[in-house]
Structure 1
Amino acid sequence: MANISMTEVSLMCHPQSDAVGIAAIDVTATLGQGGEIKLVYRVTGALEALKIADRAIPNRADGLWKNTCFELFVGNSEDKSYLEYNFAPSGQWAAYQFSGYRAGMTELETRAPIMSMAQSVDVLTVFVTLYVPYTERHADLWVGISAVVVTKSGEISYWALAHPVGSPDFHHKDCFALKLEARSGA
């Protein structure tokens, strides 16, 4: 039997932001036997109003949150460090590591995620496969799955599994609300 951890979740719009015509953002997260995390982000709603960057060469880029993008934060139960990944429907991505809450940010040396996108009139789907260094430690992963949705008129909404009290803050420990079980040696 394959040792795979798969979870389906719905993101919530932060109470201080407007959903900007988005009905739902659902995500499937899978931690596979080989240490890979597979994510499927599905945005349902008025996509014509969204600011989505045009397809680009799938390379590392900063500032992806200026357009609609999807994020994954990964920590473990062993220390305060964590990783941040950003995925744009354009195919561009970013990866950072932090030594603690918003501290010691450096670019994460990692291989590029495998990404693809599909879009219909009212559903945008972004597929991501990435390899996270923490998975080699056989530790449970605590993840925060989130999205920044930007409209063509400049409105921004913040979506996450859970939100801390106050302003949107995906780095806050309250956002690391999903546990992906460690792979066993079996």
Structure 2
Amino acid sequence: MQAHRLIPHPAHPPLAVTAIEARIHDDDANWLRLRWKVEGAQKLVLPRIGSKTRADGLWRTTCFELFLQPEGGAGYSEWNLSPSRRWNAYDFVEYREGMAERVVRRAPDSQVHPGSSFTIFYAAIPRSELPDAPCRMSISAVIEEEGGRISYWAIQHPNDEKPDFHDPACFVAGLAAPHAS
């Protein structure tokens, strides 16, 4: 299991959220299991829970994201996972170029558990939908709080002027190739 403390982008501070920790459980041969714990979530805005369908623009409100880039490659994938259960995945041939919806045969699953002072978001992505190679990884979150306040959280922010989760310098974590079953 990997744990990563996310930090807010300095140009977009949160209202009440005090910390976000992302955990990756990579010991399951069939699913990549992820968990984000949002501390200070009393003013967190959660989209209404709906059907598990693909949707665009999820990052405009509270959304959790995973970026994977196979070692040695320029291309990468982006997974957007919403507390609404909606999701999307995109492939890029290089930094912000050649964006296309990723072909996904089996959708990810997610659930949210709001609490009085923290919220936990769980997601599981089928391993069959992920690269079959070691990857560089970036984990992030877009957090909307009351009044429309948006903060951008990542393991690392290479640019203090504007958040950019696609920046190659954000890919600071690693994900091993899936175990052979």
TM-score by length of 1: 0.89
* Residue type at the aligned position of 1:178: A
Cα displacement (A) at 1:156: 1.1
Choose the corresponding residue for 2:79, options 72, 85, 92: 85
Q: Distance in 2 between matches of 1:37 and 1:123?
A: 23
Equivalent pairs: percent with the same residue?
34
Distance 1:156 1:109, change over 3 A: same
**Residue 153 of structure 1 aligns to a residue in which SS?**
helix
Cα displacement (A) at 1:185: 5.5
Q: Distance in 2 between matches of 1:106 and 1:89?
A: 23
* Residue type at the aligned position of 1:22: V
Encode CA deviations 1:15-54: one digit per residue, 9 max, x unaligned.
Answer: 111122101101111223525311011101043x222111
Is 1:158 aligned to 2:152, yes or no?
yes
Q: Distance in 2 between matches of 1:21 and 1:33?
A: 34
Return 165-174 or 34-43, whichever deviates more: 34-43
Runs of 4+ in 1 over 6 A off after TM superposition: none
Choose the corresponding residue for 1:143, options 126, 129, 137: 137
Distance 1:120 1:114, change over 3 A: same
Cα displacement (A) at 1:58: 1.3
CA RMSD, Structure 1 to Structure 2 (Å): 1.7
Choose the corresponding residue for 1:20, options 15, 23, 33: 15
Q: Distance in 1 between matches of 2:137 and 2:32?
A: 11
Q: Which residue of 2 aligns with 1:8?
A: 3
Is 1:72 aligned to 2:31, yes or no?
no
Q: Distance in 2 between matches of 1:151 and 1:180?
A: 30
TM-score by length of 2: 0.91
Choose the corresponding residue for 1:118, options 113, 127, 130: 113
Encode CA deviations 1:85-138: one digit per residue, 9 max, x unaligned.
Answer: 1111111111111111001111111121021111111111111110354442xx
Asked if 2 retains the 8 angstrom alpha-carbon contact of 1:36 and 1:129, the reply is: yes
Distance 1:55 1:33, change over 3 A: closer
Q: Which residue of 2 aligns with 1:129?
A: 124
Structure 2: segments with no counterpart, 5+ residues: none
Q: Which residue of 2 aligns with 1:179?
A: 174
Distance 1:35 1:172, change over 3 A: farther
Q: Distance in 2 between matches of 1:44 and 1:61?
A: 27
Encode CA deviations 1:49-73: one digit per residue, 9 max, x unaligned.
Answer: 2221111111111111121111000
Q: Distance in 1 between matches of 2:50 and 2:30?
A: 27
* Residue type at the aligned position of 1:92: R
Q: Distance in 2 between matches of 1:183 and 1:59?
A: 25
Distance 1:101 1:43, change over 3 A: same
Structure 1: segments with no counterpart, 5+ residues: 1-5
